[in-house]
Each structure stands twice: as structure tokens, then as C-alpha cells.
Amino acid sequence: MQIRIDIATQMLELFGDDGACMRRYPVSTAKNGPGEQKGSYRTPRGRHIVRAKIGGREAENTVFVRRRPTGEIWSPDLAATFPDRDWILTRILWLSGCEPGFNRLGDVDTMRRYIYLHGTPDSVPMGEPGSIGCVRMRNTDIIELYELVPPYTAVEIVA
């Protein structure tokens, strides 16, 4: 299995071992565009793997902070109470870069930048850049993807 994320088209595709496209999902990558530098708030390009899967037993719309469920379930009322939060919901697929000097180690390390595939409120637009570096997905889509991919699944992010 392999995941391919195209920043230009704001699409994630999941390919099976036979190379056939199994699923296609709209996503939202960084509003600042592609880039690998720490503190850039950009989506890193290149070859990655799913290093960790987090939240498999949590309810849809579970709120995560620092990869831990807060006990909150996202709602419009909660969003109104915390209007500036960057919502990480439902499931997390934490990425690790595979290319030393480009997206791994030092100031370009994807994992140390805490770059995830994660759920987001349904009110957040898909198909257009909007995140601070992560790849946002609809909650139903991240649940499905989470169930389909094992840890260490290859992820390629292209611009």
C-alpha cells in the first residue's frame, strides 16, 4: 500500500499493492504552501512513512492536543468558545520523513515538526490549502484511511 498526496490538486490517493487506486479523498494542506523548514508552517514534500497511528478507539470528533485526547468532542459551541484553536480531530497518522537532509533530521524533520494526517471539523473547506502544515481530512475519510493502512505505510507528498 502507498499514499500519495498531491498539494497542487489537494487530493490524497491510496494505492494497493497492485498499484491500483483504491481510494481518493479531498484534503487541505498548508495555506503557506509546500516546504520542509521547521517553523515554516508548510507541508513537507517527499517520501515519508506513517510512523504512528493514534486514536483508533476514539469517537468521531474527539479533540486531540499533543496527540492526546482532551476528553472533548468538537461541536460548534466548543469552536465558538475556542475560536483560535487548530482543531486536530478523530484520528492521527503521524508522518516521518525518509530523506535525510530534506525531510528527516535537523531543521527539516517532518516527525519533529509534528506533521500529521488528521481529521478536522466538517465546516473546514477541503480541496484548498488552509492548514499550518498538516494534511487535514474529513473525519469520515480519516477514519476509513486509518482502518485501511498499517503503520509504516509509504507516503509520498508532491507539489
Can you tell me which residue has the cell 486536530? Answer: 88
Confidence of residue 148 (pLDDT cuts 50, 70, 90): very high
Per-residue pLDDT of 34-90, as tens digits, reads 999 999 999 999 999 999 999 999 999 999 999 999 999 999 999 999 999 999 999
Q: What DSSP character marks residue 44?
A: P
78-86 own/partner pairs: CB under 8 Å, 24+ apart: 79/121, 79/123, 86/131, 86/132
The answer as to whether 9 is a domain residue is: no
The answer as to whether 7 is a domain residue is: no
Q: For residue 146, what are the contacts with CB-CB under 8 A and spacing of at least 6?
A: 53, 55, 56, 91, 93
The answer as to whether 77 is a domain residue is: yes
Query: Would you say 138 and 91 are in contact if contact means Cβ atoms under 8 Å apart?
Result: no
pLDDT score at 48: 98
Which CATH number fits the domain that encloses residue 143?
Answer: 2.40.440
pLDDT score at 1: 96
Per-residue pLDDT of 5-36, as tens digits, reads 999 999 999 999 999 999 999 999 999 999 99
> 123 is in which domain, residue-wise?
28-152
Amino acid found at 48: H
Q: Residue 157 has which C-alpha cell? A: 507528498
Tell me the pairing of strands 88-97 and 46-54: antiparallel
The answer as to whether 12 is a domain residue is: no
pLDDT score at 41: 98
pLDDT score at 51: 98
The answer as to whether 39 is a domain residue is: yes
Beta bridge partners of 54: 92
The answer as to whether 22 is a domain residue is: no
For a pLDDT cut of 70, what percent of the chain falls above it? 100
The answer as to whether 49 is a domain residue is: yes
Per-residue pLDDT of 86-130, as tens digits, reads 999 999 999 999 999 999 999 999 999 999 999 999 999 999 999
Domain count, the chain: 1
pTM passes above 0.85? yes
The answer as to whether 89 is a domain residue is: yes
Q: Residue 146 has which C-alpha cell? A: 486509518
